[in-house]
Structure 1
Amino acid sequence: MSIEHDIQQKAFKSPYTKAVVNIMYTNNWLCSLQNDLLKRYDITLQQYNVLRILRGQYPNPITVCGIIERMLDKMSNASRLVDKLIIKNLVVRKECPSDRRQVDVIITQQGLDLLLELDNQQQQWEKALHKLTEEEALQLSFLLDKLRGSV
C-alpha cells in the first residue's frame, strides 16, 4: 500500500515532502516491529543498540562517550541505558586504567548469549524486509546515505 493510503492523505506538497513523511512513517513501522521482538527479552531498542555496540568492541571495553558516538539514537541517555543493562547483568562497568575520569563498559557473557539468541530471532524479523531484493535493499541504503550526505 502507498503512504497516501496508510496515512489517508491524498497529496503532498512535493515529492520531497512525500519522501520525508514516508521515511518517518517507515521508521516508526520498523521500530514497532523491532520493539515487539525485543519486548519478549525485556530490553528496549536503545538497550539493544548499546549491546550491539559493545559486542562489536568485544573483548575490548569502550567508554560511555564511545558508545554515544556510535548510537543510532543520539538523544538517548547512554549512562542511564548502561545502568539498566548492569542491573540485568548484561554489561559491567570498570574504571578506565588510562583515565580515571572515564568508565569502561564491557558486555558480559550473558549479554553475548542474549545477542546470539536475538540474532536468530532477527533473521525471522528481517523477513518483513524481503519484499525488497538484495539489490533493492542495497540501493535503498545507498539512497539513504546519499540523502544524509554520506556518499
Structure 2
Amino acid sequence: MNIESILKISSDLSLSKKAVINVLFTYGLINKTLNDVLKPFDITIQQFNVLRILRGQHEKPISLETMQDLMINKMSNTTRLIDKLVKKNYVKKNINKTNRRKIDITITHEGLKLLDIIDAIIDITEKKIIGSLTDEETQELIRLLGKVRLIAN
C-alpha cells in the first residue's frame, strides 16, 4: 500500500516529500515494534542502545559526551536516560579520576545479563521487520539509506 493511502493524503506529493514521509513513517513503525518488544523488560530502545554501547566498551568507562556521540538517536536527555538505567542497576556512574567534572559510565553485571536475554529477542524482531526483503534488497536498502545520510548529515 502506498503512503498516500495509508495516511489518507489526497493531494499530489512531490517525489522527495513521498520519500521523506515514507522513511519517517517506517521509522515510526520500526521504533514502535522494537519498543513493544522491550516493554516487558521495562526499558526503551534508547536505553537498550546505551546498554549495547557500554557492553561494546568491554568494561572500559566512557563519558556522557562519548555516549551521546555513539548513540543512534542524538538527544539532549541522555543524562536522564543514564540515571534511569542507574536506578535499575544496569549502569554505574563514577566521577572521573583525572577530571572530577566528568562522569564515567559503565555497564553492570545485571545490565550484561539483561542484554544476554534481550539480544535474541531483538534479533528475531529485526529479522521479522526485514523479512519481506531478499538479502539483495536489504543490501540495496542499506546502500540507499547510506546515500541519504551523506546529504542529511
Query: Fold match, TM over 0.5?
Result: yes
**Structure 1 unpaired stretches of 5+:** none
Per-residue Cα deviation, 1:33-71 (whole angstroms, up to 9, x for no partner): 011011110011211111111111122111111101111
Partner of 1:16: 16
Q: Distance in 2 between matches of 1:118 and 1:44?
A: 12
2:5 partner SS: helix
Moved more, 83-92 or 139-148: 139-148
Q: 2:46 maps to which residue?
A: 46
Give, as a single letter, the amino acid of the residue that structure 1 aligns with 2:37.
Answer: L
Give 1:132 deviation, angstroms. 0.9
- Count of residues in correspondence between the two structures: 150
Paired AA for residue 19 in structure 2: A
Partner in structure 2 of residue 107 of structure 1: 107
Kindly tell me: are residues 67 and 136 of structure 1, through their superposed partners in 2, closer, same or farther at Cα, counting changes over 3 Å?
same
Aligned residues: CA RMSD: 1.4
Aligned to 1:87: 87
Alignment of 1:147 with 2:141, yes or no, is: no
Residues 116-150 of structure 1 show CA distances to partners (whole Å, capped at 9, x for unaligned) of: 11111012212121111122112111111111217
- Distance (Å, rounded) in 2 between the aligned partners of 1:48 and 1:68: 14
Give TM-score, length-normalised by structure 1.
0.92
Checking the alignment, whether the CA contact within 8 Å between 2:30 and 2:129 is kept in structure 1 is no
Cα distance in 2 for partners of 1:91, 1:141 equals 32
Conserved in 2, the CA contact under 8 Å of 1:12 and 1:18? no
- Runs of 4+ in structure 1 deviating by more than 3 angstroms, as ranges, are none
**Percentage of identical aligned residues:** 42
Q: Which moved more, 1:4-13 or 1:127-136?
A: 4-13
